[in-house]
Amino acid sequence: MKAGATMLQRSRRNLALFLALGCSGFAAAIASSYLLRQARHEQSQAFTQLNDIQGKLAQARDERQELMRMLTLYQDIAAHGFIGNEHRFDWVEQIRKIRTQRKLLDIQYELAPQQSIGGKSGMEIFASNMKLHMQLLHEEDLLNFIGDLRGAVPAYLRIRGCNIERIEPAASTVAQLKAECSIDWITYRIRNASAS
């Protein structure tokens, strides 16, 4: 009887131990399942954040490249003196110098008032139209004049058009041709910069 009671007591302890271990195993399985789901959720959030950061980094690289392109363009425009207020007196002086150096015939011109023609990226573009009338010995006089002018003035010259006509020879002139051109003198100005 004693042996049966001892065995029953041992069986109860083993059963209690078995139930305790089973419950703790079940609790451990539930806890690990919860922790695994939480880890996967955090991993998913980390991947989402990583993708967002990579997207922002790519956008920042693109913006940097665009800024570098714009800076290069600005530096090129600035190096040619196209940025700032127009310098009409300098332009007039350069026309006079070119005429004298090239020994050109009659040159007449009219410069229209400066007008804004648009702009972007913080720059405003201005143009002053010039109507040019020249008497020429030959076409090269006009090409040389425009080439010299482009190299001498701090403005971008946009030739809108030129008409060249032969003129009847007369005793009063040596000119063979006459040219009428429309030329835009283009300058750039940083927006909101005060005019001097």
Q: What architecture (CATH level 2) is domain 88-190?
A: 2-Layer Sandwich (3.30)
Domain boundary assignment for the chain: 1-79, 88-190
Burial of 153 (0-12, 13-18, 19+ CB in 10 A): buried
Question: In this predicted structure, what is the pLDDT of residue 164?
Answer: 92
Q: From CA 40, how far away is CA 144, in angstroms rounded?
A: 75
Q: Which parts of the chain register pLDDT below 50?
A: 193-196
Handedness of CA 66, 67, 69, 70 (dihedral sign): positive
Which amino acid would we find at residue 147?
G
The pLDDT assigned to 100 comes to: 93
Model pLDDT, residue 168: 81
Strands (E) in 80-122, as ranges, are 107-111, 115-118
Q: Please tell me the predicted confidence (pLDDT) of residue 196.
A: 38
> What pLDDT sits at residue 193?
47
**What's the pLDDT at 149?**
92
- Rounded to two decimals, the pTM is 0.59
C-alpha 108/C-alpha 25 separation (Å) is 103
Per the structure block, which two tokens stand in for 27? 């609790």
What pLDDT is attached to residue 195? 41
pLDDT score recorded for residue 13: 79
Which secondary-structure segment (H or E) carries 52?
helix 2-79
